Structure 1
Amino acid sequence: MTQRLRRPTGRYAGKAADERRAERRQRFLDAALELFGAGPGYRATTVAALCESAGLSTRQFYEEFRTLEDVLSVLHLQVNDWAESAVVEALAGTSGMPFAERYARVFRAYAGSIAEDSRRIRITFTEIVGVSPRMDEQRLARRARWIELIRAEAEAAVRRGEAADRDYRLAAAAFIGSVNGLLHDWSAGWVDASLDEVVDELVRILLGLLRFEG
């Protein structure tokens, strides 16, 4: 009796090929977060060191990424996406609150996501800076996205009669500059204050720049 051949399932140890690849990719990103954000830093890390930390081979690395810069790029976007998700969730959960209280909570959600892990701060505000024109463009693009979010929220507050009617683009850009500078300096140990104190100061700056009323 001829035995039928079964179609290959592409599964190994109960996992599909796509699942295994996603897990490998995440292992590289987890290792990069540690090496770039807590260890020697992006510039002092090699592909070999990253592979050793991830417990994977260089062949597997080049199946996922072309260069270490690609890893840094993905990691930077991932950290920003986590923070953006926290902000969007906070905005949804603070609807109807007074303007000042609403945006204080929203910013604390952002700061809480970024500062939840000191490695995220280093990736966002230190390791990404000056790496290459490509990384500078990515960093500035994400900054522009944050500026636009603040500007749009400020204009929504104007329509509700909660804030002065003016152009908030410069105020939003000034605030993002303050966030980047102060959180960078705090993470580098140049600011003698707790994270709560830093966040409180940034919230005061935000409220002042946007000239909240009421």
Structure 2
Amino acid sequence: MVDALVSHGTGTAEPVAVTAADRAQWRDRLLRAGRDLFAAYGYAHTTVEQLCAEARVPVRAFHQQFPSREALLIALYDEVATSGLRASEEAMLSEGMEECATEERFRRLFAAYVRGVTADPRAARVAFVEALGVSRAVDDHLAMWRTMWAEFLRCEARRAAERGEVGDGNQRVAVTVMTHSVEELLAHHARRPRQVTPEWLTEELTRLSLTMLGSP
């Protein structure tokens, strides 16, 4: 257990035991505060003190949960990325996915992914706008996710090529461009969610992917 100091209105502070449940609640509050403040005011303009005030936790609680603001930002990004991953996995296991044509397969995969990552507009803005260009450490973390998604898309491209539904050219280059296109379109959505709807994103990502892979 970790001891914390709390005031009882007497002008003095007394140590109390902090439980694992307390720490989990602090973390949840800080994640929610980061999601709200980073989305509303920007990562660069939000301080640790503001985060703690919004979360109603002591500043030392922040440093017990996260070594830096960057760590909080990465945790928020991971929440969004994981939501997209789980949604895509569920789509892959859905009925009829193994038999459907590549175009429909891509559409269903992108629809699931887009729904997963855009369900919370605040979280989407943090992940696809505020997390960009923050630092080398954050960039490297995002690149790790990008590499994983690129491998997933390469597998899908190989499957489509084997079925004769896309070209058999340099898929690695096409997938790299596709991966960056996904990020750019999601950032566009995060900035203008009313103009760039999830449905439009799904159709655009499907169209771009098929074009880049050389679909007839």
Partner of residue 29, structure 1: 31
Conserved 8 A contact 1:99-1:157: yes
Between stretches 165-174 and 107-116, larger displacement belongs to: 165-174
1:106 Cα deviation from its structure 2 partner: 0.3
| Structure 1 residue identity aligned to 2:32 | D
Between stretches 159-168 and 120-129, larger displacement belongs to: 159-168
1:128 Cα deviation from its structure 2 partner: 1.0
Distance 1:186 1:64 in 2: 31
Distance 1:47 1:154 in 2: 44
Between stretches 88-97 and 103-112, larger displacement belongs to: 88-97
Structure 2, gaps ≥5 residues long: 1-17
Between stretches 83-92 and 189-198, larger displacement belongs to: 189-198
Sequence identity (%): 32
Task: Give the RMSD, CA atoms, in angstroms.
Answer: 2.2
Matched, 1:196 2:215: no
| Structure 1 residue identity aligned to 2:73 | L
Structure 1, gaps ≥5 residues long: 1-15
Between stretches 188-197 and 170-179, larger displacement belongs to: 188-197
Q: Structure 1 residues 191, 50: closer, same or farther in 2, change over 3 A?
A: closer
Equivalent residue of 2:209, what SS?
Answer: helix
TM-score (norm 1): 0.83
Equivalent residue of 1:206, what SS?
Answer: helix
Q: Structure 1 residues 119, 155: closer, same or farther in 2, change over 3 A?
A: same
Conserved 8 A contact 1:99-1:212: no
Q: Structure 1 residues 160, 129: closer, same or farther in 2, change over 3 A?
A: same
Partner of residue 62, structure 2: 61
Equivalent residue of 2:152, what SS?
Answer: helix
Question: Alignment partner for residue 107 of structure 1, among 107, 110, 115?
Answer: 110
Conserved 8 A contact 1:168-1:210: yes
| Structure 1 residue identity aligned to 2:54 | S
Question: Alignment partner for residue 130 of structure 1, among 130, 133, 140?
Answer: 133
1:134-145 equivalences in 2 (<5 Å): 134-145=137-148
